[in-house]
Structure 1
């Protein structure tokens, strides 16, 4: 499924807030399907998804294409189920995932029409420098200093498989793939490397924070440029 995160208070259901999970569960209820929805990962308020994965239970009599069409009519226009299929019993979108990738898009030309979907960044980006910075995140690390404060996890160790940064027209795209990500991790990484680009921070500062020798900067990049791109199983 894909969704426009600018219209929701994140993926995860919250009391008295409009969330993606909440809207899907409400849509299922309208079709007389009483099922909780599990998802591959919670995205923050304003963060988008190109291929989020969810799971829920349905009665046997539902024909799957009819259900997909019925749900999309209710969820339109900000949430769209791209593919619906039967999963093995016990499938868990979060814990069964093997790899995930995120995309962060920066625009160097401001447009009010894309302000909810792309982060405006007027400064020129030193691509070779930021490639070096991103390369340092690859491999297994304890990312405690690159996680939102208050994250409740058993371990902060995650493995990043690949990082990329490239120019496309008036945009700069950052891509990060790994086995899993902590709350706010991508936005914290992006903010840090952009500060390196602006000479506010250095590669040495990054090494210190990544090795947990010193907590230097812990600010989140804006949510609007971030997309959950793909999940592998």
Structure 2
């Protein structure tokens, strides 16, 4: 039967869910975006403001039961997501057509939920992802509207050299040299499917897609490629760097504010709606 629950903190009343006479647990995928500037990354941590914490509090308030979420992956402090996916389990409730309006009213302005989809009970936002994509934005002129969303540089790099060096990434799978040290991973292997730079609307964008990414990997790659583009590192050094597996030999990590998680690809068979 239909029930109405008030969103007490916002004074909003909407139909939240349909109750079932027998307890049923359903799994849902949420697609969302967020501006990472005010957050200390995705993952919950003590004494820090994180995206995961905000989402879990908002969902728990909305559904009036504890909700834990699992993201497709972690983003670091200051990194953004134009597309992120997480899953959560909901006991004995079905989100109503007013869910998106209600949950977005609860969440801070830096987070937006775009869709919710019912998936198979064993579907997993992290482990079922076939590949993930990021882009990195660089601007060459001061822009107050992009100050938190791009890396401002004042020199024009050689994009052709940067793209030649980026192609070298596709021929390797061990990227320990681009990983933050002291990370809890079993291996440093990643399959990079594409990596290239493009100029668009006065901006320089780096696009990269892989089956997985290591902590700090994209920012380290961008920083290294920028050194090649500015002439302080050779194209040939990229091969040597990857084979060295030594993070200290890679370039300085590019600023977090220019990085966006922008796509996660899943098999269509996991969806039930």
Task: Tell me which interval the TM-score lies in, with the shorter structure as reference length.
Answer: over 0.9
Structure index of larger Rg: 2
Alignment pair present for 1:199 and 2:197: no
Higher strand share: 2
Which of 88, 94, 101 is the aligned partner of 2:126? Answer: 94
Corresponding residue for 1:57?
89
Q: 1:64/1:180 Cα in 2 relative to 1: closer, same or farther (>3 Å)?
A: farther
Matched, 1:4 2:35: yes
Give the Cα separation in 2 of the matches to 1:29 and 1:61: 13
3-state SS of paired residue (2:165): helix
Q: 1:224 aligns with which of 247, 252, 257?
A: 257
Q: What do the CA deviations read for 1:60-83 (whole angstroms, capped 9, x no partner)?
A: 333343222221111141100111
Of 149, 168, 180 in structure 2, the residue corresponding to residue 117 of structure 1 is 149
Q: Is the 8 A contact 2:227 2:251 kept in 1?
A: no
Which shifted more, 170-179 or 200-209? Answer: 200-209
SS of equivalent to 1:229 = strand
Q: 2:80 corresponds to which residue?
A: 48
What TM-score comes out, normalization by structure 1 length?
0.95
**Structure 1 residues not aligned, in runs of 5+:** none
SS in 2 for 1:209: helix
1:16 aligns with 2:30: no
Moved over 4 A (4+): none
Match of 2:58 in 1: 27
TM-score of the aligned structures, taking structure 2 as reference length: 0.82
Whether the 8 Å CA contact 2:176–2:245 is kept in 1: the answer is: no
Give, in whole Å, the separation in 1 of the partners of 2:184 and 2:245.
22
